[in-house]
Each structure stands twice: as C-alpha cells, then as structure tokens.
C-alpha cells in the first residue's frame, strides 16, 4: 500500500525536531518519511498483518504534545515500580528530568561508566556519538512503523553499559501517555559491551481517558558474552494504540531474555526480532491478557545465523469478552547454523464464547543438523478443576479466577526484579478481579 506523505494523518510535524539538528539526523528523518509514504499503513492483505485490522489507527489524527499534566496516581505508580532505582521517565515522548533519577547528562569519556541519557539531550549536545548507531531501521524496510518512527526521530532513551561492567540495580525506562490525541514516537538505543550484564525494565502507562498512540522502536545490541534481561510492561489505557518494535542483535555467546506482559491498549502490536551469532542464547517469554474489544498481536522472529545457538520461546494468552489475540512466531535456522537448539510454544486460554485467538508458530530450517520443536494449544478452563474447586466452597467466579491466575503465574514467577514482580501481580489481580 502506498500513500503520499501529506495523505497520512500519522505523519505530523514535531515541535521536538528543532532546526539545529545535524545533517545526518535530518537525512534519517526524511528517509523515514519517504519509506513510510512508500509502505503505507499495512492492511490485512499483508501476510504479517493478516490478524490485525489497522483501519481505526489509520483514520485517527494525533498531535505531538509533550506538555501534558499527569495525576498523582501515576506518580505513585512510577515510584512503586522504580523503587528508587535509576530511571528515565518520559511524558508523551519527551524526557522528564524531574521524574527521572540517576540519569547522566554528560558522561565522562575519561572514566567510562554506565550511562543513562535522553536521546534528545544527546542529539543536542553530542550527536556524533549516535551517528551510525540508529541505522537498524534501514535494514528493516518491511516494517512501516519503524519508518514512521524514524520520520519522527526526536527523543527516547540511550543506555550504554561498558565492557565488563555488571550493573547491580535494574534500570527503568518509563513512558507515560496523557491527554487526548497525543502521539509519542520514541526511539531508544540499548548497548551492552563485551562481558557486561544488566537488567532493563521498560514500562508503558496511560493516565486518564483519551485516544493516544505510542510508536516505540528500541534497538538493542548485546555484546560478546554479555547478558541482558529485559522486561516490558504494556499497561496503557483501553482507548490507546500501541506499536512496539524491538530489534536485537546478539554477538557470540551472548544471553538475551525478554519478559513481555501486555494487559492494556485498544489495539496493540508487540514486535520482537533477534539475530543470534555463534553460541548465543535467546529466551522470549510473553503473557497477554485481553477482554472486551481489546486486540493484541504478538509477532516474533528468532534468527539463528551461526552454529551452536539456542533459543526458547514461550507465550501465553488469556482472552475474555469479545477480545482478539494473535501469536505469530517464526524461528529461522540458517544454512550455516548447525547444532542449533530452538524451541517454541504458545498456549492460550479462552474465557468466553466470543473471544478469538490466532496462533501461528513457524520453523524455517535450512540445514539438518539441528534440534527444533514448536507447538500451540488453545482451550478453555478445565471443567473437572472447576468442579473440584466449587466442591471446596469457592464460587464459580472465584474458581475461574484462581485457575486463570495459576495459568498466568508460570510466566510471572521468573520476573527477576521483586518490585516489578509485585507491580505485575497487582496489575494481574486487578485484571482477573481476584
């Protein structure tokens, strides 16, 4: 689908751009505008988008409006979630220094240390540090929302962990959306040097009613022998649109674990792509819970490029009301990637007669010396288990909630950050009504 730039209401002029941006940033933005104009908003005729109708998003009009009030309730949630740990907090796509803690404005090159900065600050003060490091989108020209994000390149998080550094405390990246018709195109860069270790928690929260649009792109580079644990919490308002793309590259013997929890949003697309070099490991774990008219589409690609790579993918979905969900996961094993060990599993729980989920696990294997499995199941609550709990004095609603929580807990328990685990448990308790 191709549309002219001026015909798309999703392309807007951002007051964050600034006239003093370096030439390479301006060129990158223009390239993004041209790519999005050529690609357009995907339709259900596109194989990668066959389960998701984007017509409501394509017709909507949004504004870049970083100045927006937010409630004390959101402040309390951020404080509870971050628990005083280093954080960058953004409001409608723009860094809020007042809400952020432990960030660095100008790290010293003479004493390399973990740096936590706003992209907008870096682009104003030392843009040469990012020249050539925001180009992953150029290699993913089939992703129109990455192109749209690049067209609005202005702010986001920049996290760098130097070689051999082990970050003991989790790093929080919090993205708040507030006010009506607000759009936030966030571009973040996470880089772990050789042998380093870090845990990063990425959270999306909405404040108050209103239709909003978050389009986030996170480029992640995990160095040789490095270890990154990444948690994403998508808890935006039920009128919001969310498209989140994570592009991950893994050097030899690196470790990357992704824990995704998606409970909010009217229409949500979570896109995760990781490319593994020799001996690298990727663990992709996700839980999505939708009800009413919510729609969540999880799309993953695990690309084994070299030998001795391992990956394990496990996604679960819980659907109620007239909600729709999708899991489209692809594992690719290249011709040279011998001795690959890859496993993929998707389980879905349907709580109503009207909910619907589509599951499409895929394997593309180009050599014979591998060990790969995949599978998917979709079902309802076990009537025997319900009967047993009812016989022990629980009401039907209590029994349903207990079994549903048990179904979800398998993916909640491994969360490595206690405050985040408590936060997710509270969100699930509210969702399940327990």
Confidence of residue 3 (pLDDT cuts 50, 70, 90): very low
A 10 A CB-CB count for 29 gives 18
Tracing tokens 């009030």 back to the chain, one arrives at 69
Q: Which of 4-13, 122-131, 314-323 holds the top average pLDDT?
A: 314-323
Residue 287: the pLDDT is: 97
* Mean pLDDT for the stretch of residues 370-395: 90
CA angle 384, 388, 390 (to 5 degrees): 115
Pairwise CA distance, residues 286 & 262, whole Å: 8
| Span 40-67, pLDDT tens digits | 899 999 988 999 999 999 988 888 876 6
Confidence of residue 140 (pLDDT cuts 50, 70, 90): low
| Span 190-249, pLDDT tens digits | 999 999 999 999 999 988 888 999 999 999 999 999 999 999 999 999 999 999 999 999
Residue 4: the pLDDT is: 41
Three-state SS for 134-172 is CCHHHHCCCCHHHHHHHHCCCECEEEEECCCCECCCCEE
* Mean pLDDT for the stretch of residues 89-102: 88
Q: What is the DSSP letter of 23?
A: H
Give the list of residues 6+ apart from residue 284 with CB closer than 8 angstroms, or none: 258, 260, 272, 274, 300, 302, 311, 312, 313, 314, 315, 329
Domain residue ranges of the chain, discontinuous segments joined by +: 5-277, 384-434
Residue 139: the pLDDT is: 56
Residue 1: the pLDDT is: 41
3-state helix vs strand vs coil in the chain, percent to 5: 25, 40, 40
Torsional class of 290: left (φ above 0), alpha (ψ -120 to 50), beta (otherwise): beta
Residue 272 has pLDDT above 90, yes or no: yes
Residue 134: the pLDDT is: 82
Q: What is the DSSP letter of 352?
A: S
Burial string for 162-197 (b: 16+ CB within 10 Å, else e) reads beebebeebbbbbbbbbbeebbbbbbbbbbbbbbbb
Torsional class of 147: left (φ above 0), alpha (ψ -120 to 50), beta (otherwise): alpha
Residue 111: the pLDDT is: 41
């Amino acid at each position: 689908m191709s549309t002219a730039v001026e015909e798309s209401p999703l392309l807007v002029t951002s007051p964050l751009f600034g006239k003093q941006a370096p030439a390479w940033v301006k060129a990158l933005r223009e390239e993004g505008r041209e790519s999005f104009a050529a690609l357009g908003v995907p339709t259900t005729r596109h194989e990668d988008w066959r389960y998701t109708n984007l017509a409501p998003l394509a017709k909507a009009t949004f504004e870049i409006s970083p100045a927006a009030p937010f409630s004390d309730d959101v402040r309390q949630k951020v404080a509870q979630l971050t628990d005083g740990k280093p954080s960058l907090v953004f409001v409608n796509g723009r860094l809020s220094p007042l809400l952020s803690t432990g960030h660095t404005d100008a790290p010293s090159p003479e004493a390399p240390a973990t740096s936590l900065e706003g992209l907008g600050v870096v682009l104003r003060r030392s843009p040469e540090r990012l020249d050539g490091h925001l180009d992953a989108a150029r290699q993913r020209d089939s992703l129109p929302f990455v192109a749209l994000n690049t067209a609005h390149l202005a702010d986001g998080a920049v996290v760098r962990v130097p070689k051999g550094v082990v970050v003991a405390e989790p790093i929080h990246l919090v993205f708040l959306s507030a006010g009506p018709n607000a759009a936030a195109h966030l571009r973040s860069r996470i880089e772990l040097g050789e042998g380093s270790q870090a845990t990063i928690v990425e959270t999306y929260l909405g404040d108050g009613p209103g239709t909003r649009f978050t389009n986030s792109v996170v480029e992640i580079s995990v160095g040789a022998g490095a270890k990154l644990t990444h948690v994403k919490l998508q808890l935006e308002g039920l009128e919001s649109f969310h498209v989140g793309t994570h592009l991950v590259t893994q050097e030899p013997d690196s470790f990357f674990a992704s824990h995704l929890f998606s409970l909010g949003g009217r229409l949500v697309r979570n896109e995760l792509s990781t490319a593994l070099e020799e001996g690298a490991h990727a663990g992709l774990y996700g839980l999505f819970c939708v009800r009413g008219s919510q729609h969540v589409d999880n799309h993953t690609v695990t690309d084994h490029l070299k030998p001795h790579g391992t990956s394990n993918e496990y996604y679960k979905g819980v659907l109620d009301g007239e909600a729709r969900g999708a899991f489209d996961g692809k594992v690719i094993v290249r011709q040279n990637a011998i001795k690959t060990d890859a496993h993929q599993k998707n389980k879905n729980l349907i709580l109503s007669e009207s909910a619907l989920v589509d599951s499409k696990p895929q394997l593309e294997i180009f050599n014979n010396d591998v060990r790969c499995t995949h599978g998917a199941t979709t079902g309802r609550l076990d009537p025997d288990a319900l009967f047993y709990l009812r016989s022990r004095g629980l009401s039907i609603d209590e029994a349903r909630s207990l079994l549903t929580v048990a179904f979800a807990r398998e993916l909640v328990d491994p969360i490595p950050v206690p405050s985040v685990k408590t936060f997710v448990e509270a969100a699930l308790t509210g969702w399940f009504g327990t």
